[in-house]
Amino acid sequence: MTLKLDKVNRGPHLSTLVASSISREIVQGRLKPGDQLPTEQQLAQTFGVSRNVVREAIARLRSEGRIWSQQGRGAFVADQPNATVLTIDFEALQQANAFQSLFELRGILEVEAAALAAKRRTRDDLLAMKDVLATMHAAPYGSVMWLKTDLEFHKTVAAATGNAYMVQFLMFVSERVRESILASGNQQRSEDLAVVTLGEHQRILDAIEAGDGAEAREAMRDHLHGAASRVGLGAEQSE
Amino acid sequence: MTLKLDKVNRGPHLSTLVASSISREIVQGRLKPGDQLPTEQQLAQTFGVSRNVVREAIARLRSEGRIWSQQGRGAFVADQPNATVLTIDFEALQQANAFQSLFELRGILEVEAAALAAKRRTRDDLLAMKDVLATMHAAPYGSVMWLKTDLEFHKTVAAATGNAYMVQFLMFVSERVRESILASGNQQRSEDLAVVTLGEHQRILDAIEAGDGAEAREAMRDHLHGAASRVGLGAEQSE
DNA sequence: GAAACCAGTGTTGTATGATAACCATGTAAG
DNA sequence: CTTACATGGTTATCATACAACACTGGTTTC
**Chain B interface, best mutation among A14, A30, A55, A63, by max B CB count within 10 A:** A63
Chain D nucleotides reached by a protein CB under 7 Å: 9-17, 19-23
Alpha-carbon gap, residue A142 to A140, rounded angstroms: 6
| Nucleotide with the nearest C1' to A48 CA | D14
Q: Is the pLDDT of residue A9 over 60?
A: no
Q: What is the pLDDT of residue B215?
A: 96
Average confidence (pLDDT) over A142-155: 83
A161/chain B closest Cα distance in angstroms: 10
DSSP A76: E
Do the Cβ atoms of A169 and B87 come closer than 8 Å? Answer: no
Q: Is the pLDDT of residue A7 over 70?
A: no
Q: What is the pLDDT of residue B72?
A: 84
| Residues in chain A closer than 8 A to B16 (CB atoms) | 63
Chain B CA closest to residue A97 = B163
Residues 6+ apart with CB under 8 A from B236: B100
Q: Is the pLDDT of residue A52 over 80?
A: yes
Residues 6+ apart with CB under 8 A from B192: none
Which residue from B223, B211, B114 is spatially nearest to B163, judged by alpha carbons? B114
User: Do A102 and B165 count as a contact with CB atoms less than 8 A apart?
Assistant: yes
Q: What is the pLDDT of residue A1?
A: 34
**Residue B19, CA distances (Å) to A185, A233, B42, B44 in order:** 30, 36, 15, 12
Alpha-carbon gap, residue A4 to A7, rounded angstroms: 6
| Residues in chain A closer than 8 A to B79 (CB atoms) | none
* Beta strands per DSSP E along chain A: 67-70, 74-77, 85-87
Cβ of A82 under 8 Å from any chain B Cβ?
Answer: yes
**Residue A78, CA distances (Å) to A4, A31, B27 in order:** 43, 10, 28
User: Do B128 and A56 count as a contact with CB atoms less than 8 A apart?
Assistant: no
Q: What is the pLDDT of residue B137?
A: 86
**Chain B interface, best mutation among A105, A116, A161, A172, by max B CB count within 10 A:** A105
**Chain B interface, best mutation among A22, A28, A66, A111, by max B CB count within 10 A:** A28
Domains, chain B, with CATH or none: 14-77 (1.10.10.10), 92-230 (1.20.120.530)
Which residue from A117, A109, A110, A151 is spatially nearest to A132, judged by alpha carbons? A151
Do the Cβ atoms of B228 and B103 come closer than 8 Å? Answer: yes
Arithmetic mean of pLDDT over chain A: 82
Residue B13, φ and ψ in degrees, nearest 5: -125, 130
Q: What is the pLDDT of residue A10?
A: 45
Q: What is the pLDDT of residue A143?
A: 72
Better pLDDT: A58 or B182 = A58
Q: Is the pLDDT of residue A238 over 50?
A: no
Q: What is the pLDDT of residue A230?
A: 76
Cβ of A182 under 8 Å from any chain B Cβ?
Answer: no
Is the CB of residue B102 inside 7 Å of nucleic acid strand D? no
Assign A6 a pLDDT band (cuts: 50, 70, 90): very low
Assign A142 a pLDDT band (cuts: 50, 70, 90): low
Better pLDDT: A228 or B233 = A228
User: Do B101 and A164 count as a contact with CB atoms less than 8 A apart?
Assistant: yes
Q: What is the pLDDT of residue A92?
A: 79
A106/chain B closest Cα distance in angstroms: 10
Do the Cβ atoms of B11 and B21 come closer than 8 Å? Answer: no
Average confidence (pLDDT) over A90-109: 86
Alpha-carbon gap, residue B161 to B231, rounded angstroms: 27
pLDDT by residue (tens digit) across A168-216?
899 889 888 887 777 766 566 666 677 888 899 999 999 999 999 999 9
Residue pLDDT tens, chain B, 239 long = 333 333 343 347 788 888 888 887 887 667 888 888 899 888 898 888 999 999 999 998 888 888 888 888 888 888 765 566 777 766 666 667 788 889 999 999 999 999 999 999 999 999 999 999 999 888 887 677 888 888 899 999 999 999 989 998 999 898 888 877 776 666 666 667 778 888 999 999 999 999 999 999 999 999 999 888 877 665 444 43
Assign A119 a pLDDT band (cuts: 50, 70, 90): very high
CA torsion through residues A142, A146, A148, A152, sign: negative
Average confidence (pLDDT) over A111-130: 94
Q: What is the pLDDT of residue B229?
A: 82
A–B: how many Cβ contacts below 8 A?
117
Assign A156 a pLDDT band (cuts: 50, 70, 90): very high
